[in-house]
Amino acid sequence: MSNKLRLCQVASVKDGEPVAVYQEKMPALAVYNVDGEVFVTDNLCTHGNAMLTDGYQDGTIIECPFHGGSFDIATGAAKAFPCQIPIKTYPVTIEDGWVYIDQPKESA
């Protein structure tokens, strides 16, 4: 049994238009395309109860739709107040046109 989670097709993730993905036993995830490179983070803002995919992506920055705080998509680092706690990021694998992440051990 593979420990990889298939999230979505690469072609469905347009540059600047993050996609929300829901997987059993996982937090809500966000998949981003930044100049052709794919990234995956948790989708829930660490400051408020907002889905980041409802926010605004500007290059490598995702802005929360509630209070304007933001995060670095590649590192998860909080970039603008009121966000202070980073979001979780996941290593991405692309296979046969699909985006995969490794299933975290604690959710297996």
Residues belonging to the chain: 108
Write down the residue that tokens 């975290």 correspond to. 104
- What is the per-residue pLDDT for 103? 84
Hey, which bits of 2-88 come out as E strands?
4-9, 19-21, 29-34, 37-42, 56-58, 61-63, 70-72, 78-80
CATH superfamily for domain 13-90: Rieske [2Fe-2S] iron-sulphur domain (2.102.10.10)
pLDDT digits (tens, 9 = 90+) for 66-90: 988 999 999 999 999 999 999 999 9
What are the structural domain ranges in the chain? 13-90
pLDDT digits (tens, 9 = 90+) for 15-37: 999 999 999 889 999 999 999 99
Residue tagged 């980041």 (tokens): 52
